[in-house]
Amino acid sequence: MLAKRIIPCLDVKDGMTVKGVNFLNLRSAGDPVELGRRYSEEGADELVYLDITASYEGRKTFVDIVRRVAQAINIPFTVGGGIGSVYDVDTLLGNGADKVSVNSAALKRPGLIDEIARHFGNQVCVVAIDARFTDGKWVCYLKGGRERTDRTLQEWAHEAQERGAGEILFTSMDHDGTRNGYACDALADLHDRLQIPVIASGGCGCAAHIADAFKLGKADAALAAGIFHFGDTDIPSLKQYLRTQGLPVRL
């Protein structure tokens, strides 16, 4: 049976993971490669690395990190942050990434999704959507939530699928950082509308939230950062818990 996926997310800035990392046994907690290796060995099903660097120099550092991650870990990983062209995608895949996540650039120029799918296949293209419940509907935002658009989550996710997205990574900005749980109603609605997998993101504070994302939100995968980085839970105990909840997980 296909397992529900657990995906730790690592934000990388100037070559280091950000968001205070609190692993006692990790020699270099800030090293994204070491942290990825640790999660992989603990039983993460995939990893996501997001480049939140703005500078050109930082970008080159990120490509180097992608290459080192590919050498170090034996599970799939997705990279994202600032991807705007097929050339960017080619560089990242060529250095060992399995998938890329596109966000703002695709909202501004949706044809980017078609181009990525045509060149590299649908399975490579994860479309990340940041949305907030505004005026009675889920509205998509650009640039990490700083700029509102006139697109709704449901409409844009469907268009992304039709253009060739392989998965949708939906982050609820209302839930992100609250640690109060995922946006399960919106997730379940997306699941029912789409033929491609949906990754839940934003709001995870404990293992029960992940179980809810799968059961109530019908998500195919759950992404989280803080609960792993801060050591609130580790992946083996999380997966044991999910199994007691009757959810299929890889143990």
Partner 1 sequence: MDAAIIKYNAGNVFSVECALRRIGAEAIVTDDPEVITRAPRVIFPGVGEASSAMAHLREHHLDSVIKSLQCPVLGICIGMQLLCKHSQEGDTDCIGIFDLPVLRFDNSDTPELKIPQMGWNTISVTPGSFVPAECDKRFAYFVHSYYVPLNMHTSAVTDYIIPYSAALQKDNFYATQFHPEKSGDTGETILKKFMEL
Q: Which residues are catalytic?
A: 11, 130
71 interacts with partner 1 by CB under 8 A: yes
> Of 162, 163, 13, which Cα lies nearest the Cα of 82?
13
What distance lies between CA 224 and its chain's CA centroid? 8
CB of residue 62 to partner 1, shortest distance in Å: 16
In the bound state with partner 1, the residue whose beta carbon lies nearer, of 19 and 68, is 68
The one among 80, 164, 166, 217 contacting partner 1 by CB under 8 A:
166
Pairing of strands 137-142, 147-152: antiparallel
The one among 45, 51, 130, 189 contacting partner 1 by CB under 8 A:
45
Identify residues 17-36 at the interface with partner 1 (CB under 8 A): none
Q: Tell me how far apart the alpha carbons of residues 85 and 100 are, in angstroms, rounded to a whole number.
A: 11
Binding segment for partner 1 among 134-142, 145-153, 171-179, 192-200 (CB under 8 A)?
Answer: 192-200
228 interacts with partner 1 by CB under 8 A: no
Burial 51-77 (b: 16+ CB within 10 A, else e): bebeeeebbebbbebbbbbbeebebeb
Q: Tell me how far apart the alpha carbons of residues 3 and 57 are, in angstroms, rounded to a whole number.
A: 39
In the bound state with partner 1, the residue whose beta carbon lies nearer, of 137 and 250, is 250
> Of 47, 42, 77, which Cα lies nearest the Cα of 240?
42
The one among 61, 85, 123, 245 contacting partner 1 by CB under 8 A:
123
Chain residues that interact with partner 1, rule: CB under 8 A: 1-3, 5, 40, 45, 70-71, 74-76, 93-96, 98, 120-124, 166-167, 194-197, 218, 220-221, 250
